[in-house]
Amino acid sequence: MNFTTRLSLLVVVVCSMAEAKSSAAAPPNKAASTYSRASFVPPASPTLTKAGWPSAANHPSRVQKQIVTGYGTELLGRKKNTGSSSTKTAAVPPVTKNGKIQIKILTSVPNIGQAGDIVFVSSAVFQNQLQRQKKARLISAEEVALIEAEKQKEEAEATQKAIDTKKMMEETMLASVGEECSTDQDICGVALTMKRKAGPEGNLFGGINPKMIMEELANAFPDGSWEGKQVKLTDMKDSDGKDVKKKDIKHTGEYTCVVKLGSDVDVTFILSVVAE
């Protein structure tokens, strides 16, 4: 047996021993795997994130989301119009006081105000009741200033007209007397005369109430100031200085009446009731 043959036999023996050793170390009834275990690699996927808040464009109510990808950021949802053709009016900053907001009443609301009134209400009442039913709106400080200026102008004009009406009636009373009043008299002369049917003793067939007097004044002085809730008959006394009950005249005679013409203007005049 030569050297080459001996070397081949040695290689076969060594391989047989290595295989036997490997078979003895393996678990019973299970074949050794010929594959190596590979680690799991998750697939690439985009990252989902929510847009920032409290930006008005990214508010949760608009359900806006951002998908971040390797190619940039895509914003899903309603797109913000940035065109110059559509211009929106800036929101009116509300005037607040003691936790309430200032509004203007558009339609009269019980327990809140009349149409045109400027009042303070809670934001909950405004949003849930008044704004939803279109009965009020927010009003800015600039608008309030303009309204107040216009109101003061109207009040000044009304006061001046009331003063002119008072002067007109006083001149009529002086003209009916024909001379100046004496210093011991508060008023003199008759400003208004009303004729009514009456009995022999002066009892009227039907009384004269304040509404009738105001209507007669408007007819006698058509250029006077007789409009407005503030214009009304406030006092009435008979010739003896006694108050007339319910300001309802039942007898002929002269009566001293007071009419409120404005916030600071009153006129006192004499009403003469005579029989027809």
Taking only the tens place, the pLDDT of each residue in 122-156 is 999 999 999 999 999 999 999 999 999 999 999 99
Whole-model pTM over 0.85? no
pLDDT value for 131: 93
Question: Could you give the C-alpha distances from 156 to 66, 118, 160, 168, 233, in angstroms and in order?
Answer: 62, 20, 6, 18, 22
Residues 6+ positions from 12 with CB-CB distance below 8 Å: none
Q: Specify the 3-state DSSP secondary structure of 262.
A: coil
CA-to-CA distance for 93 and 70, rounded, in angstroms? 43
- b/e sequence 76-91, b meaning 16+ C-beta within 10 Å: eeeeeeeeeeeeeeee
pLDDT category at 87 given cuts 50, 70, 90 is very low
pLDDT category at 10 given cuts 50, 70, 90 is confident
Q: Is the pLDDT of residue 82 over 80?
A: no
Low-confidence winner among 43-52, 91-100, 162-171, 213-222 (lowest mean pLDDT): 43-52
pLDDT category at 51 given cuts 50, 70, 90 is very low
pLDDT category at 41 given cuts 50, 70, 90 is low
Tens digits of residue pLDDT in 192-212 = 999 999 999 999 998 999 999
Tens digits of residue pLDDT in 148-199 = 999 999 999 999 999 999 999 999 998 888 555 554 556 778 999 999 999 9
pLDDT value for 256: 95
pLDDT value for 16: 74
For the chain, the straight-line distance linking the first and the last C-alpha, in angstroms and rounded, comes to: 175
pLDDT value for 42: 62
Which phi and psi (to 5°) does residue 90 adopt? -65, 145
Mean pLDDT of 217-227: 94
Q: Is the pLDDT of residue 238 over 70?
A: yes
Q: Is the pLDDT of residue 103 over 90?
A: yes
In terms of phi and psi (left: phi > 0; alpha: psi -120 to 50; beta: otherwise), the region of 29 is left
CA-to-CA distance for 130 and 115, rounded, in angstroms? 12
Q: How far is CA 184 from the centre of its chain?
A: 56
Q: What is the largest CA-CA distance in the chain?
A: 180
pLDDT category at 56 given cuts 50, 70, 90 is very low
Q: Looking at per-residue confidence, does 248 or 176 come out higher?
A: 248
